[in-house]
Amino acid sequence: MAEADFKEASGEKEWKEWKERTGKSVEECLELAAAEEGVPQARLDYAVVEQPTKGLFGFIGGKPAKIRYRVKPLEAVAVAREFLQTIFATIKVEASIEKLSSEDGTTLNIRGRDLGVLIGKRGQTLDALQYLTNLAANRDADVKEKILLDVEDYRKRRSEALASLALRMADKVKRRGERVVLEPMSPHERKVIHVALQNDSRITTYSEGEEPFRKVVIALKK
């Protein structure tokens, strides 16, 4: 393949990111390139520059195969998927992972049967798994990203329940004139309470205490 043809096929404007590798065959070029970079062949983005040719009498004037290649960026979501699949295999859980995108980041919604073990009491296990997943994913990834984990839409149902709780507690505060202190919650759950009551002209919310025992307080505005 001519250089101009390679540029058109690869869609690459500059050669600087690309390296060359020669070998007896294209397959050998890929094996050598992957070994040199320390990555599986699936992570190589490549184009064939020259196919191998046989010379006179099978060896005189022959040319090796040549490729130009680069290592594809390793994205956090891809690393997160691999990390979670390893966890599932270790604890013998059969589950699939659904990717959802939102303004808060990327959510990986885990689906399957009997997944309560991944949620834990009030979502504590899920929060811990999410923390570990983000550590693993963004440690090695070239493209870093905030990753949220959910299990069978648990967080959605929990958020709806917390929003309903916030409205009930706000009504209680208005009737009695006394502030209400909720149970300790994760940062995500505290945000749900704050957002649910942010447009109430008579109510204010704030957090107090230290993690992991930080609580939301609902009180009348002064």
> Domains plus CATH for the chain?
3-71 (no CATH), 76-152 (3.30.300.20), 157-220 (3.30.1370.50)
pLDDT category of residue 84 using cuts at 50, 70 and 90: very high
Sheet with 147-151, side-by-side order of all strands: 95-102, 105-112, 147-151
Lowest mean pLDDT among 25-29, 101-105, 155-159: 101-105
Helix, strand, coil % (nearest 5) of the chain? 45, 25, 30
3-state secondary structure of 48: strand
Contacts with 150 (C-beta within 8 Å, 6 or more apart), sequence order: 107, 108, 109, 110, 126, 156
What would the two tokens of residue 16 be?
């600087």
- The whole-number pLDDT of residue 75 equals 84
31-35, 41-45, 67-71, 193-197: least confidently modelled range? 41-45
- d(C-alpha 22, C-alpha 32), whole Å: 9
Give the pLDDT of residue 42.
84
Nearest partner of 151 among 206, 113, 200, judged by Cα: 113
Compute the distance between CA of residue 133 and CA of residue 151 in angstroms, rounded to an integer: 14
What is the pTM assigned to this prediction?
0.65
Of 190, 169, 180, the closest CA to residue 127 belongs to 190
